[in-house]
Amino acid sequence: MPVNLAAVDLGASSGRVMLAHVDGGASQLNLDEVHRFWNGPVRLGDTLHWDVLALYREMLVGLRQARSVDGVGIDSWAVDYGLLDADGRLLGNPVHYRDGRTDGAMERVLRSISADELYAVTGLQQLPFNTIYQLAAERGLERAATLLMIPDLLGYWLTGEVGAEATNASTTQLYDVRARGWSAELAGRIGVPEGLLPGIREAGQVIGGLLPAVAEETGLDPATPVIAVGSHDTASSVVAVPAAEEERFAYISSGTWSLVGLELDEPVLTAEAQAANFTNEGGVDGRIRFLRNVMGLWILQECLRVWGDDDLPGLLRAAAEAPAFAVLIDPDDPSFLAPGNMPGRIEEFCARSGQEAPRSRAAVVRCVLESLALAYRRTLRLAQEVAGREIDVVHVIGGGSQNELLCQLTADACGLPVLAGPVEASAVGNVLVQARALGEPLPDLTAMRALVRATHKLRPYRPQGKPADWDAAESRVFGTR
């Protein structure tokens, strides 16, 4: 029986509500965008916030425009959260992970919990904005009764039901990746009040029906189920990787961030994995997303914002003709994390590294994309070494899969074929999990991915150029190991 589903898909710079028609038996999967809206930081005083109330409002607008649906699922970025008081009221707008309040928080936590212990329990990449460090920097935590990650908070406002979906919980650095539940030991040692972290729910679990006020505002049936999906958008994206059953694949979920890695059955918690700063995040159906965060297209997005230039296609055409390897940066340098004058920061990086700064906008774009491709190459080679897993193909999914120059540079840098698509990977993965929960014949990830392959056109890229040129470029940026 085919189903119509609403996917609320929230990224770090925009949100959207997608309407999907899924018929697993007839190999049909159609997506239409019914509402798109801006999302981004709001600075109030000296703090950078998310405008979560605006996100809730826009979600309701999108659900109203979707009209009658059989289910609703919500996915978003990771690590950020809202705090509720004992009466279930939001204590304040959630703080943005790029806010400076976590400056020094990692160092303070690591004085009481060693990095080795943290990795042995959580298997997470050390990032200064991980939830554990945000909580260590939180003021007034004693006033809070419940912590909800962003998708869980929005789901609570739709249904009144409290819980923590596992894939997003696994990004907090408070989640035991082997026991697949919260680590009360770690939470207690950073002063997290007992009971703050709600019960874990798995992707595919029905959260509940709509509250009467929500049903009235959206026009949806109150019995419409809200379904827990892979609520970390990357978890949903990886569901939609169109890999064949026996394919040895890597994925790059490419957007504001690039999530670069492998899908494994068990976490890799070795000293080598820790030293390489790989993360073991939970995936749908108990899989492990063994990956590293790479800064991603954020750098290019900030350049475009500063330039006030919306002609990205023209810049990409010019960048494709610009000299190769003229200027290279490390995309993960901390100077590129916060919002600001990104072209100026690239110039500063060049000055520090003894390079002449790029002289044109096209040269800046070429610099950013080549540098990202180098970071992907380095990350995937490390992933294969540390996990003991060889790969034959790289799947680029998400918005960045539309960037033809980046996809070709990625194939060239990695020396592997690249398959690009689907663009709407997080929304696709979202609705596939919903469809299965509602009885569609999609019993496992293999069946879901087969449906993606059958319904989406993928763009192939074959490696070109000389591997030695990329070897030399990598040594310029990262040195030799």
Distance CA 200, CA 166 (A): 6
Q: How far is CA 253 from CA 34, 41, 394, in A?
A: 23, 22, 11
DSSP 33-53: EEEEEE--EEEETTEEEE-HH
Q: Is 113 exposed, middle or buried (0-12, 13-18, 19+ CB in 10 A)?
A: middle
DSSP 144-189: -SEEEEHHHHHHHHHHS---EEHHHHTTSS-EETTTTEE-HHHHHH
Give the residues across from 281 on adjacent strands: 289
Q: DSSP class of residue 13?
A: S
Given 70, 75, 233, 333, the catalytic residue: 233
Distance CA 72, CA 39 (A): 20
**Residue 6 near residue 17, CB atoms below 8 Å:** yes
The verdict on whether 75 is a catalytic residue reads: no
Q: How far is CA 190 from CA 7, 82, 102, 137, in A?
A: 35, 18, 14, 10
Spatial CB neighbours of 314, under 8 Å, sequence gap ≥ 6: none
The H-or-E segment that residue 15 falls in is strand 14-23
**Residue 300 near residue 365, CB atoms below 8 Å:** yes
Q: How far is CA 386 from CA 114, 275, 380, in A?
A: 22, 10, 10
Q: How far is CA 366 from CA 221, 275, 318, 353, in A?
A: 50, 30, 9, 18
Spatial CB neighbours of 59, under 8 Å, sequence gap ≥ 6: 8, 15, 17, 74, 154
Distance CA 107, CA 66 (A): 46
**Residue 376 near residue 413, CB atoms below 8 Å:** yes
Q: How far is CA 95 from CA 20, 85, 138, 298, in A?
A: 32, 16, 10, 19
Query: 461: how many CB neighbours lie within 10 A of its CB?
Result: 20
Distance CA 33, CA 23 (A): 18
- So which residues are the catalytic ones? 233
